[in-house]
Amino acid sequence: MTEWTLIYLVLFVGACLQSVIGFGLGLLCAPILFLILPELVPAPMILNALLLTLLIAIRNHDAINVRQTAFSVIGGTIGVLVASSVMIFLEHHQYRVLFGVSIVIGVILSAIGFHPRITAYTNVFAGTLSGFMGTVTSAGGAPMGLLYQTAEHKQIKANLSVFFLYINAFGILTLWLTGAAGSNDFVLFVKCIPAILLGWGFSWLVNSRINVDIVRPLVLFVAFCSGLASIVF
């Protein structure tokens, strides 16, 4: 199996999962792709997430809660700005460790049974963490996913997609302005587009056939192992 065939397979699965269960693209794909082709993280993966969240937000636009999303966007803006400032000063090996640690933290946050109440304050706090982790790793879904875990499923996908649509757009802009992203990242993103579209399209066929209770822990386990590998190796 060639390098790009494997990359396409990982992106296809991740895009399909996120379209069905509300997360998966960043948390599953980013740590695996970082091990296969590090250049895909974070900027190309942020662009991949930007495209997919746009498609999901359009599909679920009628379930968007504007007030809740507005507070999470405020927090996300803070997180993106902090992450972009930090990344300017990181060497590659330092970034690799920060990436791995952020992924592991994201998995732990996704796996714990804590059920915070959805308020303006928790939206700002979770948004800040997600904005920071999303900019550093392109996998910032855990804090916001934890906050919205008890919400109605369509609302989860709608609100999180709008939030990450903004965060991904703002994140890639700040990375570009600070020199942490460039034209080569856009070329890599374009190469990834077919896999993202295929995964999103396939999700329409399997939307009612995937057992979330089985898939969720499997995704978290794979992401956890990949995150540890990024730290150790």
Query: Could you tell me the two tokens for 81?
Result: 């700005």
Decide: 179 and 89 in contact? Cβ < 8 Å: no
Q: Is 115 left (phi over 0), alpha (psi -120 to 50) or beta?
A: beta
Tokens 């540890």 label which residue? 228
The pLDDT score that the predictor gives to residue 113 is: 67
**Strand residue runs (E) in the chain:** none
Q: How far apart are CA 229 and CA 100, in angstroms?
A: 7
| pLDDT mean for each 10 residues of the chain (233 residues) | 92 90 82 92 94 88 80 94 90 86 86 80 92 88 79 74 90 92 96 96 83 74 81 75
127 token code pair: 């948004």
pLDDT recorded at residue 95: 87
Q: What per-residue confidence (pLDDT) applies to 5?
A: 96
Q: Render 6-57 in DSSP notation, one character per residue.
A: HHHHHHHHHHHHHHHHS--IIIIIHHHHHHH-GGGTTHHHHHHHHHHHHHHH
Tokens 């991949």 belong to residue? 48
pTM: 0.86
**What is the residue extent of each domain of the chain?**
3-232
